Structure 1
């Protein structure tokens, strides 16, 4: 089962975090949203349970179980953006009207995929102190998180199921072609994982957030507020 936070009233915004993170990274975004919102921890992350096999489809299927059957806007960061694109296909029964993918990595080398697969096979590291586990979880997420650890035999460990790192390379052209929703791809202008020229291979006019890096939703939530307001017109 997924851990889900929700609130507000009005048009529904679904927010999907990136690999290693938790739903808490969207706190400043939902604070500025005037409608209703739904934020899950993805399977194998934070306070959500683990699943047998991690794929973009299995992530999307799990999220689809907690999203109401009504028109929704989905904003996903990195891995969450790919999951959002999978939901936008309509294959999972979710009525996505707009899908915003932020900081999705477009190009993957064989070496990068091999490193991710090797990391996915490593045993989880256990720490004596909760603070040490929090620090490790935050470094894997790339942003500070506090709900990404759990107490285990022998101490504390990040809650992240590292097998999720083996999810592989997404078929972004195929997902965009299959989308029934308006697709917007965006990234911070200083995002080393997602330069504008890579996004231009997929969409003609990607959105660039000035001054921001990979984690726009944490670094500059107001940039997302502005984009969402523009899309709602």
Structure 2
């Protein structure tokens, strides 16, 4: 897969560019609130493979998804900003020429054997199909953790579901659930650029203690949950400023 196969949104012109990588089950549209605050700064927000308007991969790993989007790194300078699954993908890009820093938001860093087995089980199920588009949209929002945060009638959900002969289904490929344990500690140790790890204060998927075991200065975003970038996009601006130091 090459970057020309991906659905990619872009804006701005001024480097460094912000490469925005969404979480599992979501699409690049979740960054719309943040991109509206970036002024003239260049930004790139793809749908990751197996999500939205981008094609599926034969099999998913964090490394293979990173390889698929690596060509989007602006060699003039890029800050990679990834949420959850996208944050782990971003850490795989840390050594890519042109990358200046990585911001990982809401990355789940501790996994139990039972959680990983459950992910494989879910990943082996076929994509669900629904009689109506509204039902498929509701499923998409639940999987992406956006239920209650995004209006089901929001036009940005156009690439999140598709119509088939059997009905409507989310475009997300469930096989991506089985991507495995991200190995964040090893990725951090290998990263040649600054890495900022952050979480919403109310994120149930990762604790401050989890992140503090990996980096000396994790950032808590007060009052926010797992999808902090959707809940309050402006809260991410100080994280981006940290990468300029």
TM-score range, shorter chain: over 0.9
Which residue among 83, 87, 91 is the counterpart of 1:81?
Answer: 87
In structure 2, what is the Cα distance between the partners aligned to 1:10 and 1:181?
21
In structure 2, what is the Cα distance between the partners aligned to 1:230 and 1:176?
17
Q: Is the 8 A contact 2:73 2:99 kept in 1?
A: no
For 2:6, the equivalent position in structure 1 comes to: 2
The Cα shift of 1:230 comes to 4.1
In structure 2, what is the Cα distance between the partners aligned to 1:4 and 1:98?
21
What SS does the aligned partner of 1:98 have? Answer: strand
What SS does the aligned partner of 1:76 have? Answer: strand
RMSD value, Cα: 1.2
The Cα shift of 1:176 comes to 0.6
Mean CA deviation greater in 64-73 or 114-123: 64-73
For 1:52, the equivalent position in structure 2 comes to: 58
Mean CA deviation greater in 162-171 or 147-156: 147-156
Which residue among 129, 139, 161 is the counterpart of 2:142?
Answer: 139
In structure 2, what is the Cα distance between the partners aligned to 1:31 and 1:151?
30
In structure 2, what is the Cα distance between the partners aligned to 1:231 and 1:44?
29
Aligned length: 230
TM norm structure 1: 0.95
* 1:25 and 2:30 matched: yes
* 1:154 and 2:154 matched: no
Mean CA deviation greater in 2-11 or 136-145: 136-145
Which residue among 96, 103, 106 is the counterpart of 2:106?
Answer: 103
* 1:207 and 2:207 matched: no
The Cα shift of 1:89 comes to 2.6
Q: Is the 8 A contact 1:96 1:180 kept in 2?
A: no
* 1:192 and 2:196 matched: no
Q: Is the 8 A contact 1:88 1:95 kept in 2?
A: no
The Cα shift of 1:5 comes to 0.3
* 1:41 and 2:44 matched: no
In structure 2, what is the Cα distance between the partners aligned to 1:120 and 1:58?
16
TM norm structure 2: 0.91
The structure 1 segments of at least 4 consecutive aligned residues displaced by more than 2 Å after TM superposition are: 65-70, 229-233
In structure 1, what is the Cα distance between the partners aligned to 2:121 and 2:235?
35
* 1:63 and 2:69 matched: yes
In structure 2, what is the Cα distance between the partners aligned to 1:114 and 1:139?
20
For 2:78, the equivalent position in structure 1 comes to: 72
Q: Which stretches in structure 1 are left out of the alignment for 5+ residues?
A: none
In structure 1, what is the Cα distance between the partners aligned to 2:238 and 2:194?
17
